[in-house]
């Protein structure tokens, strides 16, 4: 779901920027975000970090938790990979 939101910034492509940003998100049982996503580990490039945060926010809401889930919310850290091989 998050990958479908990717828009590799043109400036980053032109400058050969690549990297992986790790983004923390906290979801309610219905799949909505509890709060704005937060950058945990930088890709090394501000422009890619900003795009990673935008992608996660744009992908919400996520699939709801199963009815058997015992917690009202849960936290996750996901990698958002930017590779020039998949930029186009």
On whether residue 33 sits in a domain, the answer given is yes
Burial (0-12, 13-18, 19+ Cβ within 10 Å), 83: exposed
pLDDT digits (tens, 9 = 90+) for 61-79: 999 999 888 888 999 999 9
Cβ neighbours for 63, distance < 8 A, ≥ 6 positions apart: 1, 31
**Amino acid 28: pLDDT:** 96
On whether residue 34 sits in a domain, the answer given is yes
What average pLDDT score do residues 4-11 get? Answer: 90
On whether residue 88 sits in a domain, the answer given is no
Identify whether the C-beta of residue 13 lies closer than 8 Å to the C-beta of residue 42: no
Structural domain boundaries, residue 59 = 3-83
Instruction: State the total domains in the chain.
Output: 1
Sign of CA pseudo-dihedral 40, 54, 6, 29: positive
Q: Which residue has the higher pLDDT, 68 or 35?
A: 35
On whether residue 52 sits in a domain, the answer given is yes
On whether residue 48 sits in a domain, the answer given is yes
pLDDT band at 14 (very low <50, low <70, confident <90, very high): very high
CATH number, residue 61: 3.30.1150.10
**Amino acid 20: pLDDT:** 98
């Amino acid at each position: 779901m998050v990958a479908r939101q990717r828009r590799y910034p043109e400036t980053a492509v032109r400058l050969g920027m690549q990297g992986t940003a790790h983004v923390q998100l906290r979801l309610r049982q219905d799949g909505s975000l509890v709060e704005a996503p937060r950058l945990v580990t930088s890709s090394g490039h501000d422009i890619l970090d900003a795009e990673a945060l935008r992608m996660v926010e744009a992908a919400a809401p996520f699939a709801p938790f199963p009815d058997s889930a015992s917690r009202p919310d849960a936290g996750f850290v996901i990698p958002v990979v930017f590779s020039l091989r998949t930029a186009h």
